[in-house]
């Protein structure tokens, strides 16, 4: 009896200890790593893979990703560089510009290519000019930070273009002013400006489109960026993030309509059919490319990185040429077999 009585408190203590130990183990095993992620732009169709991942593959990878809509690639690059955000999505050209203009600061590092080629595009009203050669003296508008505006010197190297008059235009008003005739031409991302022009009431029959990549401008578009200190301190977290995003990206390419529903959840005010079209335009033109079919989804080709750096430096007449290894890394990509485009 004494034995029995003496074992009860012991058993109780053991049970309590096991409960505590189990709780500690479970807490440790399931603790999520937090990642602060800044998108390049507001929540539109092309953000579907990210927003899908945030509710599906990120949690499965033990990641608590705080996603925030952006205001432009230049701001995203700067905020990731400063450490305000750990990771982000930004235009490759903006990354090169930041690295060149801040040679004493460690720049963000590109770890995954989302758009294999730049979406920068020239749009011209047919009533204003029949071709880029007839743009002389015409009004062309874009925000100062617009990727197409900054790559313009490279575009005109291979395209006969009359010298237009550049107008600084707020991004929210660019397509509206183009549609109502205040501007003869604009530069913008292919899938953003095209559908915004339509939303502003202008028919696609009333303007011509000139994607920069068709003129031979070989520069990556959007890439996933990582703050250099965060990358150094959390390489496994970055690897898990990239692979989880990659899984959702492939799923979004297979079923874009399903993926865009996550955009609607993030911003109920969006026009879902319109954003589905925008996502498909982005994926069909800038993701499903010959290079992606050959090299794989998300692949960073360091020779292309070097070529892109040279192109951006020449276009913007930058004083410093960044080292490719300082702004891009292939170490965090999914295995080659898993990157094969479908």
Residue 283 lies in a domain: yes
In a shared domain, residues 106 and 183:
no
- Strand ranges, E, within 84-213: 87-91, 109-113, 120-125, 139-142, 165-168, 185-189, 207-211
273 lies in which domain range? 33-116+219-339
In a shared domain, residues 255 and 210:
no
Residue 223 lies in a domain: yes
Task: Choose one of 155, 180, 215: the last residue of a domain.
Answer: 215
Residue 287 lies in a domain: yes
Closest among 27, 40, 90 to 225, alpha carbons compared: 90
- The model's pTM is 0.89
In a shared domain, residues 326 and 271:
yes
Alpha-carbon span 190 to 207, nearest angstrom: 13
Alpha-carbon span 224 to 330, nearest angstrom: 12
Q: Which residues are CB-contacts of 82 (< 8 A; sequence separation ≥ 6)?
A: none
Question: How many C-beta atoms surround the C-beta of residue 2 within 10 A?
Answer: 6
Task: Choose one of 185, 215, 245: the last residue of a domain.
Answer: 215
Tens-level pLDDT at each residue, the chain (342 residues): 333 333 344 344 444 444 444 433 343 455 899 999 999 999 999 999 999 999 999 999 999 999 999 999 999 999 999 999 999 999 999 999 999 999 999 999 999 999 999 999 999 999 999 999 999 999 999 999 999 999 999 999 989 899 999 999 999 999 999 999 999 999 999 999 999 999 999 999 999 999 999 999 999 999 999 999 999 999 999 999 999 999 999 999 999 999 999 999 999 999 999 999 999 999 999 999 999 999 999 999 999 999 999 999 999 999 999 999 999 999 999 998 899 866
Q: How many domains does the chain have?
A: 2
Read off the CATH number of the domain in which 176 is found: 3.40.190.10
Alpha-carbon span 115 to 91, nearest angstrom: 9
Task: Choose one of 157, 181, 215: the last residue of a domain.
Answer: 215
> CA distances (Å), 101 to each of 25, 76, 319, 322, in order?
47, 15, 8, 9
Alpha-carbon span 169 to 167, nearest angstrom: 6
Q: What is the pLDDT of residue 270?
A: 96
Closest among 31, 16, 86 to 242, alpha carbons compared: 86
In a shared domain, residues 227 and 271:
yes
329 phi, psi to nearest 5 deg:
-145, 140
Alpha-carbon span 81 to 85, nearest angstrom: 8
In a shared domain, residues 198 and 260:
no
> CA distances (Å), 129 to each of 32, 123, 137, 253, 272, in order?
55, 10, 11, 36, 33
């Amino acid at each position: 009896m004494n034995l029995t009585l003496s074992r009860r408190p012991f058993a109780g203590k053991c049970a309590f200890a096991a409960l505590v130990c189990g709780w500690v183990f479970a807490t440790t095993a399931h603790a999520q790593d937090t990642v602060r992620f800044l998108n390049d732009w507001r929540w539109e169709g092309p953000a579907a893979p990210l927003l899908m991942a945030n509710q599906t593959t990120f949690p499965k990878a033990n990641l608590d990703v705080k996603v925030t809509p952006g205001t432009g690639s230049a701001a995203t690059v700067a905020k990731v560089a400063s450490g305000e955000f750990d990771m982000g999505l930004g235009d490759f050209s903006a990354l090169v510009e930041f690295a060149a203009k801040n040679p004493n600061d460690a720049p963000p590092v590109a770890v995954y290519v989302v758009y294999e080629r730049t979406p920068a595009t020239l749009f011209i009203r047919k009533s204003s000019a029949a071709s880029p050669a007839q743009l002389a003296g015409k009004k062309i508008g874009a925000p100062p930070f617009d990727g197409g505006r900054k790559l313009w010197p490279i575009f005109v190297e291979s395209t006969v273009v009359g010298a237009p008059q550049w107008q600084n235009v707020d991004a929210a008003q660019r397509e509206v002013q183009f549609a109502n005739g205040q501007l003869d031409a604009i530069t913008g991302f292919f899938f953003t400006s095209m559908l915004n022009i339509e939303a502003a009431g202008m028919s696609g029959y009333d303007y011509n489109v000139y994607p920069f990549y068709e003129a031979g401008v070989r520069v990556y578009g959007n890439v996933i960026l990582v703050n250099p200190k965060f990358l150094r301190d959390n390489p496994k977290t970055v690897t898990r993030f990239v692979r989880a995003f990659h899984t959702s990206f492939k799923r979004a390419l297979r079923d874009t309509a399903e993926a865009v529903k996550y955009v609607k959840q993030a911003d109920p005010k969006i026009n879902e059919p319109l954003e589905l079209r925008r996502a498909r335009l982005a994926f069909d033109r800038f993701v499903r490319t010959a290079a992606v079919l050959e090299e794989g989804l998300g692949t960073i080709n360091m020779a292309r990185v070097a070529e892109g750096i040279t192109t951006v430096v020449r276009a913007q007449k930058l004083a410093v040429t960044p080292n490719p290894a300082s702004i891009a890394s292939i170490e965090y990509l999914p295995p080659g077999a898993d990157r094969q485009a479908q």
